[in-house]
Amino acid sequence: MKFDTLQQRISFYKNYARVSGFDTGLYTTKKRKSDGKISLKYCVCNKEGFRETPRLQSNCKKKRPITRMGCNARITLKLINDQDNYIVFSFHEGHTHPLSTPNSSHHTKQSRNLTLAHKKYIIDNSRTNIGATKSYRLIKEHVGGYQNMAASVTNFKNFQRDIKKHIRGKGAQMFIENFKRNKEMCSSFFFKYEVDDKQHLIRVFWADAIGRKNYACFGDFVSFDTTFSMNEYCIVFAPFTGVDNSKSCVTFADALLYREDTESFVWLFEAFRDAMSACDPICIITDQDPAMKIAIERVFDEFWNSI
């Protein structure tokens, strides 16, 4: 058989291995000294050769199983001219291990690839705090079983890990860019943020149109609480809430704070006044944080003394 490029050869042998029930691995490559072109290329079974002793996984005491079984199955490609044309120079078909059956072929590496639908499903679920393992189990129910998945739970975990690695260090910027898009779509959306000397996001405040409308109707009494759990960046979530005429909780605004000190609370309450058109509440219910008490007196004292 003749191939125009090496990539065509790789795709051909991978498809052959997938149908036959084994995995492949690219192996020895020989290049010509004159021009550096690949003159000979071996593609072997992934169980080729032997491993003398089991290797330890990194940061783990568990021994990896021995998967090499001295399999001689391989295909050899040889360059026949200067036009990068390759022919099958030799082919060894026999294996020294059992091949996967049609019912178990979905376990081979050749059959475990994430599709675009898988990736979108993982991303959409991550927005609702659904992890990779649970996403794998959910999509398994949609497709009718593990044999129809065409991917493994490890593929799901690795993809979610790669996403987190990609956005690491960019999360704050993506967070603010999302607020800017919301502001462009709705002029009533209000947000304010502040960064430190190292351009790290240290506090942010936002209120959408519904929250501002709720405050205009039910904002006489406001509850402000910073006792929620911190996220992985040690930032506290602090919502401004109230109660409507149906005795249901409504949200006026939200904030994220890196520090719970007087300076941060003063900045936050001033941002709250700006968002609510300087219409101060009659009563604020909070915890007994001394820094918060000082900030409230500093920001709202002038209005409360007038009444």
Pair (95, 120) in one structural domain: no
Average pLDDT over every residue of 173-201: 88
pTM: 0.54
Count CB neighbours of 222 within 10 A: 22
Q: State the residue for tokens 């007038």.
A: 306
> pLDDT band at residue 74, thresholds of 50, 70 and 90?
confident
Pair (242, 287) in one structural domain: yes
Note whether residue 94 is domain-resident. yes
pLDDT in tens, 293-304: 888 888 887 655
- For residue 205, pLDDT beyond 90: yes
Check residue 229 and give its pLDDT. 59
Q: Report the alpha-carbon distance of residue 153 to residue 122 in Å, rounded.
A: 11
- For residue 307, pLDDT beyond 60: no
- How many structural domains is the chain composed of? 3
Burial class (CB in 10 A: 0-12, 13-18, 19+), 130: middle
Of the residues 89, 105, 121, the one at which a domain ends: 105
> pLDDT band at residue 55, thresholds of 50, 70 and 90?
low
Check residue 249 and give its pLDDT. 92
Judge contact between 68 and 51, C-beta under 8 A. Answer: yes
Average pLDDT over every residue of 157-165: 81
Q: What is the full DSSP assignment across 81-114? A: STT--EEEEEEE---SSPPPPTTTGGGSGGG---
Note whether residue 182 is domain-resident. no
If you average pLDDT over each of 67-71, 93-97, 168-172, which comes out highest?
93-97
Pair (206, 140) in one structural domain: no
Pair (28, 130) in one structural domain: no
Q: Report the alpha-carbon distance of residue 31 to residue 13 in Å, rounded.
A: 21
Pair (151, 206) in one structural domain: no
- For residue 306, pLDDT beyond 50: no
Note whether residue 181 is domain-resident. no
- For residue 256, pLDDT beyond 70: yes
Note whether residue 179 is domain-resident. no
pLDDT in tens, 99-149: 776 665 555 666 567 778 888 888 888 777 788 888 888 887 877 776 667
Residue 130: which domain range? 112-167
